Amino acid sequence: MENSRTSPLSSNFLILVPVLLVFFFYLPLLDNGFVNWDDPQVILNNIHIRSLNLSSLQWMLTSFHTGNWMPLTWLTFTVNYGLGGLEPKSYHLTNLLIHLMNTGLVFLLVGRLLSLGGRSGEKTFEIFTALLSALLFGLHPMHVESVAWASERKDVLYAFFFLLSVYSYLGIFTSSDRKGYRFWACWVFFLLALISKPMAVTLPLVLLILDYWPLKRLGSNFLSLLTEKIPFLLVALAGAWIAILAQDEASAFTPAENWPISFRILNAFRSLAFYPFKLLIPRNLSPLYPISPNLSGPFYLQSFLGIGMVLLVTVVCFFRRKKGPFFAAAWLLYLVTLAPVLGIFQVGSQAVADRYAYLASLALFIPFSAVVSSRLAHHRLVFVLICAVLTGLLGYGTREQIKIWKDSQTLWERVVGLYPGQSAVAHTNLGSAYEKAGRMDDALREYQSAAAIPPPLAITHNGIGAILFFKGRTAEAVREFQYAISLNPHYGAPHRNLWYIFQSRGMKGEALAEIQKAVEIDPDNPDFNQYLAQTLQAADKK
């Protein structure tokens, strides 16, 4: 039988308030399209999500495609394809529905947390904190990236099972009958989170922090608590190992010589200060925050401010750990859930990313909401007015951020507008968007801007070659394609483009060699296979 203190939200229908508000403000998302950032590789050109059979299931379980191991996420994409093909609305709606469930889970989870660790009889405080936390989580513009980016399904999906796992773990201690099935339900949800996105590896540490607060179990035998977590730790270690293999196979790790360990450590502290600042003042949010090739004074100033902030908060939480264990636990949760993405093992060209704060932000939202609610527990009208103002401001910001993810052009114009000349990826992808729209001069300008940013990228020079070929400058185009191949021998697109040029010139042998190489590099690309079949068929006819 449930303890009455553990179900403080006697008006559980209030869960509908944040859920319905989030749904309303996110409705424009359903009119968005795909973007040329991971969506082509993950969804549009991925033949493995177009059917559900033993072969596709085997691929999902064993593939490190795009540097990720996420079998459950691949399975959800397969369901989307089965229901609506490549119609983007289906994929965006699924992301939104998962985000809505996460918002509801936050409401329930905060209620359970405060019920276990709060002060007896303060139901209004618990309800207010749960409601405000859910509103902040569901409507914050910083979370738009995780929801609006179709390929980022893994973020909202792993968070869903992560929250369910934590909720189940706390549920073990809200009943006088602590049955083992609750513990194993927590473990199963953890496993599902891990096969959605390996970032879930932090959960065993999160459970130990919850043992500190609100469960207050650390006073007992600590060794027994660690032993209890062995099933979680084993799965977490396996998940971390697989994630490293996946990133390594995709060559996603940035070489140490590019960004030395001193830079990575400084950037980690800078990141720890960046997310609270952006959560407090969500201005100039960007889909990509590039690492500047020219590190300057502002970077070092921000890094040392980050070091100061982390040390100050850590010292305050340590000395107030007995009087304020709630805040110490929240700070530890923030540090732990962000740890995998602080850049010590640098992946990609971003210094930070909005999506990294999707789950970690809860560690800041909950104490903020608790402080506000404790001050206004007896001033309900004022609390409602504050929630209404925050809902309006955050909802407006969310809708504006959704517009940025409308299509590839709006996405990369935003990044280039905020960080001109700093990201070869941004300029290249904007050039690709312009090329698709038929704006060839604009596309060439962006590709050339990208080429001026070191190090040179194969995709950039492949784009330059495509525009030059369109302009009739075939010899120059061939040189660009060949240069792109020299930069990345495992990139199939320039081979495909050379195939087209050689085919049009009647150079059948050279054309066949290029398209065969493209298929060898990317055997799952349906276009490459189609072109190879056409070439072989034409050769057979002769």
**DSSP codes joined into one string, 375-417:** HHTT-HHHHHHHHHHHHHHHHHHHHHHHHHTSSHHHHHHHHHH
pLDDT above 50 for 460: yes
Mean pLDDT over residues 365-375, rounded? 95
Least confident of 108-122, 178-192, 505-519: 108-122
The reported pLDDT for the residue numbered 344 is 77
- Token readout for 494 is 């320039």
Task: Please tell me the distance from the alpha carbon of residue 91 to that of residue 77, in angstroms, as a whole number.
Answer: 8
Task: Please tell me the distance from the alpha carbon of residue 73 to that of residue 46, in angstroms, as a whole number.
Answer: 13
Least confident of 103-107, 215-219, 448-452: 215-219
Domain 409-541 has CATH 1.25.40.10: yes
Q: Band of the pLDDT at 222, cuts 50, 70, 90?
A: confident
Residues 459/443, Cβ–Cβ less than 8 Å:
no
Q: Which residues of 388-412 are buried (b: 16+ CB within 10 A; e: fewer)?
A: eebbeebbebbbebbbbbbbbbebb
pLDDT above 70 for 14: yes
**Half-sphere exposure (CA, 13 Å, Cβ side) for 400?**
15
Q: Band of the pLDDT at 121, cuts 50, 70, 90?
A: low
Task: Please tell me the distance from the alpha carbon of residue 42 to that of residue 539, in angstroms, as a whole number.
Answer: 33
Coil, strand or helix at 253: strand
pLDDT above 50 for 6: no
Helix (H) or strand (E) holding 22: helix 16-26
The reported pLDDT for the residue numbered 542 is 59
Q: Is the N-terminal amide bond of 455 cis, ω within 30° of 0?
A: yes
The reported pLDDT for the residue numbered 4 is 40
pLDDT above 60 for 118: yes
Q: Band of the pLDDT at 510, cuts 50, 70, 90?
A: very high
Residues 524/46, Cβ–Cβ less than 8 Å:
yes
The reported pLDDT for the residue numbered 8 is 41
pLDDT above 80 for 59: yes
Which regions of the chain carry the CATH code 1.25.40.10?
A: 409-541
Mean pLDDT over residues 378-393, rounded? 95
pLDDT, the chain, mean: 92
Percent of residues, the chain, with pLDDT higher than 90: 79
